[in-house]
Amino acid sequence: MKPAPAGSAVALWLARCLQQAGLPDGVLNVVLGGRATAEALMADPAVDAVTITGSLAAGYAAAEACARRCIPLQAELGGNNASIVWADCDLDSAAALVAEGAFGFAGQRCTANRRAIVQEDCRDAFLDALGERVRALGWGDPHQASTQVGPLVSAAARARVASLLARAVPVASRIAAPHLEVAASRETPRGEAFLAPTIVCCDDPSAEIVQHESFGPVLVVQRARDFEEALALCNGVPQGLVASLFSRSEPLRQAFLRRARAGILKLDRSTADADAEAPFGGWKASGIGPAEHGPSNREAYTRVQSVYR
């Protein structure tokens, strides 16, 4: 296992836990380093297959390296995941689930709720409920049990997301950070890696803030006049990892299940989280090769061989 440099301490901690649990020596080896280390591992003749979780650029590099050696690749490359919120759903429940899905772990998970596509008729009501739910999320020290939104992994990651938000100002109709709106009544977290959970309303589907996966505590809210437009917006990004729909309408549910272009679909649930026993794989720019988890791991970690007698 070669973790991202910023996650090196976590990887070593996990390896120690597995060793203490009885995993035999040599089954898991942790190699620390950056891009050059990853490239060396993928080029090593002793490596028979590669599985990677990372950016699209990392996936392209891995695909080239594995193609040169004709070895299998399993790549999970993130998602710009959307929840469609329709007027017939329980808006308060939807707001609560989307808020936690967007901002839990400071948005640093590939399944995080990056976008909310909201029916025009209920957009204002949803935004009001969303603001209240976001404001109620515990933001601060990750060592505290009550914290739901901690810091980003580094000051550099925080600066990257803050720069994306700054570039969104000209195209957004509204940018709100509910925690900062009540900063006088609570202590604002200190530290270079903290960024307040931020809601960005943007109706330009081509805008960078819409098309780019922030991988931070940012939720983009898009307006949809009808369900056709909602599906087009949902599918209108390069990635296709997770999509969800909040609606009681069975026809809308069936249309969503047929036409949403993502590897994981959910009904009345946030896009965040996934069951470890179910296949986990994205469409379009969200994945290369077989899915992760469940029966898909057998496909990824074995090779088919036919024997004639």
Supply the residues annotated as catalytic.
110
Give backbone dihedrals phi and psi of 184, rounded to 5 degrees, phi first. Answer: -65, -25
**Sequence-separated (6 or more) residues with CB below 8 Å from residue 259:** 231, 235
Question: Residue 119 corresponds to which tokens in the numbers above?
Answer: 């029916």
> Which position has the token pair 């594995």?
66
Phi, psi of 259 (to 5 degrees): -115, -10
Distance CA 130, CA 26 (A): 48
Structure tokens, 290: 């077989």
Residues in the chain: 309
Instruction: Please give the structure tokens belonging to residue 277.
Output: 């026993």
139-144 long-range contacts, CB within 8 A, separation 24+: 139/179, 139/189, 139/194, 139/196, 139/197, 140/187, 140/189, 141/189
CA dist 297 → 11, 24, 49 (Å): 21, 21, 12
